[in-house]
């Protein structure tokens, strides 16, 4: 089995035809604290889809993404999560959360840390595509910071 052993961020290198990522190692490399709500590591960054592992450090206010659908697979931790007008639910390891572009969502409370998620965005989500329902709650810059792979 061939694997991509280039440990630079795919955004910084030529696009590989395939890759194998150690999600647990990537999750463990995320820092314990952050000035932003989230820190992510981009795994792939293609026009048709992007993927990343991110850790949530504090509650995330209601927001949406205008350009992509999102799939979130919880890797560790637990958090209260909401999607649109549906009642909040507890998200934990093994759950896959899906929502369409424009769906208002958020994380009002982290219940167990570290809350780490694998995200796949279709098509690719530009890091600036974060729109808070109340603009006073944040900006793309206060929302997320990217970290190099490994």
Look at residue 121 and tell me whether its pLDDT is greater than 60. yes
Contact, 91 vs 78, CB < 8 A? yes
Q: Which pLDDT value is given to residue 17?
A: 87
Task: Tell me what pLDDT residue 150 has.
Answer: 55
Residues 72, 77, 83, 86: what is their CA dihedral angle, to the nearest 10 degrees? 140
Domains of the chain: 29-146 (2.60.120.10)
pLDDT-derived band at 125 (thresholds 50, 70, 90) equals very high
What pLDDT does residue 148 have? 77
pLDDT confidence bin for 149, thresholds 50/70/90: confident
Mean pLDDT for the chain overall: 91
Q: What is the pLDDT of residues 98-120, one digit of tens each?
A: 999 999 999 999 999 999 999 99
Cβ-based neighbours of 67, under 8 Å, separated by 6 or more: 101, 123, 125, 126, 129
* pLDDT above 50 for 11: no
């Amino acid at each position: 089995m061939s694997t991509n052993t280039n440990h630079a961020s795919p955004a910084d290198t030529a696009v590989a035809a395939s890759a194998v990522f150690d999600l647990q190692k990537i999750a463990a490399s995320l820092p314990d604290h952050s000035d932003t709500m989230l820190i992510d590591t981009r795994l792939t960054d293609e026009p048709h889809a992007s993927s990343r592992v991110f850790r949530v450090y504090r509650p995330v206010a209601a927001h949406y993404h205008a350009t992509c659908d999102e799939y979130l697979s919880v890797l560790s931790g637990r958090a209260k999560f909401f999607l649109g007008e549906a009642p909040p639910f507890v998200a934990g390891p093994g759950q896959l959360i899906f929502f369409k572009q424009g769906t208002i969502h958020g994380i009002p409370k982290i219940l167990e840390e570290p809350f780490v998620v694998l995200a796949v965005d279709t098509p690719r989500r530009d890091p600036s595509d974060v729109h808070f329902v109340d603009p006073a709650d944040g900006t793309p810059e206060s929302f997320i910071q990217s970290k190099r792979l490994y």
